[in-house]
Amino acid sequence: MPYYGGLVSFFRLPPIEFKDIAEGTTVIAGVPIDNGIYGGRPGARFGPRAIREASMFFRAGYELAPDKTRVDLDSETALRLKDAPDVGDLGDFNIYPTDLMKTTESVTQGVAEVVQRGGFPVVMGGDHYVAYPSFEGFAKGMAERHENLRLGFIHIDAHTDFNESNALGGRYHHGTMVRRISENPAIEYKNLAWVGLNSPVTVDQFELKREHNLNMMTARNVRDRGIADVMTDAMNTAADGVHAVYVSIDIDVIDAHQSTGTGSPEFNGVHTAEFFEAMDMLSRYDMLAAFDLCEVSPEWDPSGQTERIAVDGMLRVLHPRLFDEVNL
């Protein structure tokens, strides 16, 4: 079947239901909303569907290859599509387009159930507010599996999303969700890390950064130090003394010249190659127990490039779960 035919799911993975989730199952789920946006451009509600459709192209490349195997010319690593990966597409969590709090509850409960059943949640936004209920559900599920739960959080984004509130959006929107996450009793400031920041912050955020020595690393830090050093720093910060780490990714961390299909594009950001290297590093990160990728707004990129970058990044994180490395 060519990539443009057949039923659509992420990477043409089989659909699953909650009852199918067992220990170790990787669960893809979408949250197609953009009512967490108080400013910026709407359209992220179309992100999960666009990512799923774009992922079909990547799947076809392996399905049509001999032995379902492809070889990277730089590393000479051969990857073969697993015959029966323990990965499935749950579809989208229930959403309520005019009731953000009801959607919040739905996503929180959905992710919590995935984790309670032993699953590894991968959540596709939607706008970046999605990370808040997703993290809350992750924490709720993990709390049933660990006493005195401690969690870390890595935020890969051009923006801190660490506002307390503002006059337009209040306390619950895509610019406040890291502040809301930081209020969860399972996390401390010392286990928060930001990567790729590329936008000014408010005075109260800067004061918190200075007071608590928050690990906020910018796109310039990536250029000066290299993405490998910055990501290692973030990982060490988030993983210090915790049970597991949640990673949240906003596609706008990538320079707007390369990734235009997003609601709040920023120029002079992280380059696509650096983004891919960061995703490769996450795939080897044992503490990673859940991640989301948000803010793909396909209508702002008619070329389809942004959603394909998003898919490539997700597949890099998931590649040990989807592929076997083979010797040639």
Range of the domain at 208: 10-326
CATH code: domain of residue 166: 3.40.800.10
Rounded Cα distance between 49 and 88, Å, is 15
Beta bridge partners of 81: 323
Task: Tell me the pLDDT tens digit for each residue of 136-191.
Answer: 999 999 999 999 999 999 999 999 999 999 888 899 999 999 999 999 999 999 99
What backbone phi and psi angles, to 5 degrees, belong to 187? -130, 150
Q: Please indicate, yes or no, if residue 4 is contained in any of the structural domains.
A: no
Q: Please indicate, yes or no, if residue 276 is contained in any of the structural domains.
A: yes
Task: Label residue 69 exposed, middle or buried (CB < 10 Å: 0-12, 13-18, 19+).
Answer: middle
Q: Please indicate, yes or no, if residue 176 is contained in any of the structural domains.
A: yes
In three-state secondary structure terms, 1 is: coil
Q: Please indicate, yes or no, if residue 2 is contained in any of the structural domains.
A: no
**Residue 248 CB partners (closer than 8 Å, separation 6+):** 128, 131, 134, 135, 153, 154, 155, 156, 157, 178, 291, 292, 294
Task: Tell me the pLDDT tens digit for each residue of 240-259.
Answer: 999 999 999 999 999 999 99
Q: How many domains does the chain have?
A: 1
Asked if residue 144 lies in contact with residue 116, where contact means CB atoms within 8 angstroms, the answer is yes
Answer yes or no: pTM beyond 0.85: yes
Q: Please indicate, yes or no, if residue 106 is contained in any of the structural domains.
A: yes
State yes or no: pLDDT of 328 exceeds 90.
no
Task: Tell me the pLDDT tens digit for each residue of 116-125.
Answer: 999 999 999 9
Q: What is the mean pLDDT of residues 277-305?
A: 97
pLDDT recorded at residue 37: 86
Beta bridge partners of 151: 187, 244
Rounded Cα distance between 139 and 115, Å, is 9
Inter-CA distances, 306 with 54, 227, 298, Å: 10, 20, 7
Compute the mean pLDDT over every residue in the chain, rounded to the nearest whole number.
96
Q: How would residue 2 be classed by pLDDT, with cut points 50, 70 and 90?
A: confident
Task: Tell me the pLDDT tens digit for each residue of 59-105.
Answer: 999 999 999 999 999 999 999 999 999 999 999 999 999 999 999 99
Rounded Cα distance between 44 and 128, Å, is 9
Tell me the two tokens of residue 97.
């387009």
Rounded Cα distance between 188 and 180, Å, is 12
Q: Please indicate, yes or no, if residue 124 is contained in any of the structural domains.
A: yes
Task: Label residue 73 exposed, middle or buried (CB < 10 Å: 0-12, 13-18, 19+).
Answer: exposed
Q: Please indicate, yes or no, if residue 226 is contained in any of the structural domains.
A: yes
Q: Please indicate, yes or no, if residue 5 is contained in any of the structural domains.
A: no
